[in-house]
Structure 1
Amino acid sequence: MTPATIVDPKTGKNVVSDKQTSYGMFFKLNENAFISRRDQRIFEIMNFPLEHGKGTQILYYPARTGSEPHFDFLIPSNPANQS
């Protein structure tokens, strides 16, 4: 696991921040056989097309760490978010 990142609203790049002090990792859809089976089961239960989904994000918060309140969205009019 690596230090969690946030998206810098000015550059659109992922950066480590003292506002998010957890550790995390991402799995892409179908990254390996285990993840593929797990994703398929979840999407079947949810009756949701797999191609509309995202990979899994795992976060670990050790003692005395956390995340400040925030919104998880990108601003379409921000050039950094237009990729």
Structure 2
Amino acid sequence: MFVCTQRHTQFSIHRPLTLSLSALICSAGLFLSSPVFAMPSAPQATVADLARACEQLASEERIHSEEKAQFILECVNDQLTELGYARINSL
């Protein structure tokens, strides 16, 4: 019985902290996703280099032609995100 009471006490103490942390994380996500904190656009040369590398990868992976454009765009966007640049809508 003591163990259950102790666990209940721990839960009730940590629950407000958990809820507060969750609210803080959600608020930070909304704040950082605002246009003020938008990621910079990549230079055209960077996008072109990434597109060439992703096109080479698509060829090596033998991606079908009907899927190739989407594969390359997703590949470029993944790399842009890793480099800290904004995603693009088309090549």
Give me the TM-score of the superposition, normalised by structure 1.
0.29
Higher strand share: 1
Higher helix share: 2
Give me the TM-score of the superposition, normalised by structure 2.
0.27
- Structure number with greater CO (CA < 8 Å, separation at least 6) is 1
